[in-house]
């Protein structure tokens, strides 16, 4: 019995340290080169993110947390869009395109939505498997923050404001 508790403690500690790194890391890395196919058939690339602060959100219509956080993402986009902020929502490869289109239209999403039909974009961005996973990309095209699960939107807004104020 004691061995089970020790093993559980070690596993929990290892998970906590990895989670701490994911959420608390202040280091930056360049956003991976990617091409995004948007719902209207046009495309964007990682290079198009440069010059703006961008929220990149990996999500799925079947993800309860993703659906629940979407009104906050919309509000965040609308609050900062005129200040050099953009949002890109990337639907996971397992999400049927018709569901994604219906969701985007019925909720009048005011930002670009991309389909990742092959899973290549999720793979390039750190092999994203959990949704929602959200990246904040600065004006230089560097990932400065990663959220797995719903972000603390108050903290997120402070980060966005800080990044928008930078040259």
- Mean residue pLDDT across the chain: 88
Which two tokens mark 43?
């495309």
CA quadruple 59, 65, 71, 77: dihedral positive or negative? negative
Q: What percent of the chain has pLDDT over 70?
A: 84
pLDDT average, residue stretch 82-108: 97
- Model confidence at 28, pLDDT cuts 50, 70, 90, reads confident
Which two tokens mark 49?
């993110």
28 neighbors 138 (Cβ within 8 angstroms): yes
87 neighbors 111 (Cβ within 8 angstroms): yes
Predicted pLDDT at 17: 34
Rounded to a whole number of angstroms, the distance between the first and last alpha carbons of the chain is: 57
Q: What is the pTM of this model?
A: 0.84
- pLDDT > 80? residue 11: no
Per residue in 43-77, pLDDT (tens digit) is: 999 999 999 999 999 999 999 999 999 999 999 99
């Amino acid at each position: 019995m004691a061995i089970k508790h020790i093993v559980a403690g070690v596993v929990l500690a290892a998970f906590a340290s990895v989670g701490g790194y994911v959420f608390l890391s202040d280091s930056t890395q360049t956003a991976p080169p990617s091409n995004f196919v948007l719902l209207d058939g046009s495309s964007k690339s990682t290079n198009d993110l440069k010059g703006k602060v961008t929220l990149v959100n990996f999500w799925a219509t079947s993800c309860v947390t993703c659906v629940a956080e979407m009104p906050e993402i919309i509000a965040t986009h609308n609050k900062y869009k005129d200040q050099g902020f953009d949002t890109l929502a990337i639907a996971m490869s397992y999400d049927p395109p018709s569901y994604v289109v219906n969701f985007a239209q019925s909720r009048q999403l005011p930002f670009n939505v991309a389909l990742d039909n092959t899973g290549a974009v999720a793979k390039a961005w750190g092999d994203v498997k959990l949704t929602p996973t959200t990246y904040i990309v600065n004006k230089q095209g560097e990932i400065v923050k990663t959220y797995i699960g719903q972000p603390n939107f108050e903290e997120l807004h402070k980060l966005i404001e800080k990044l928008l104020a930078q040259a």
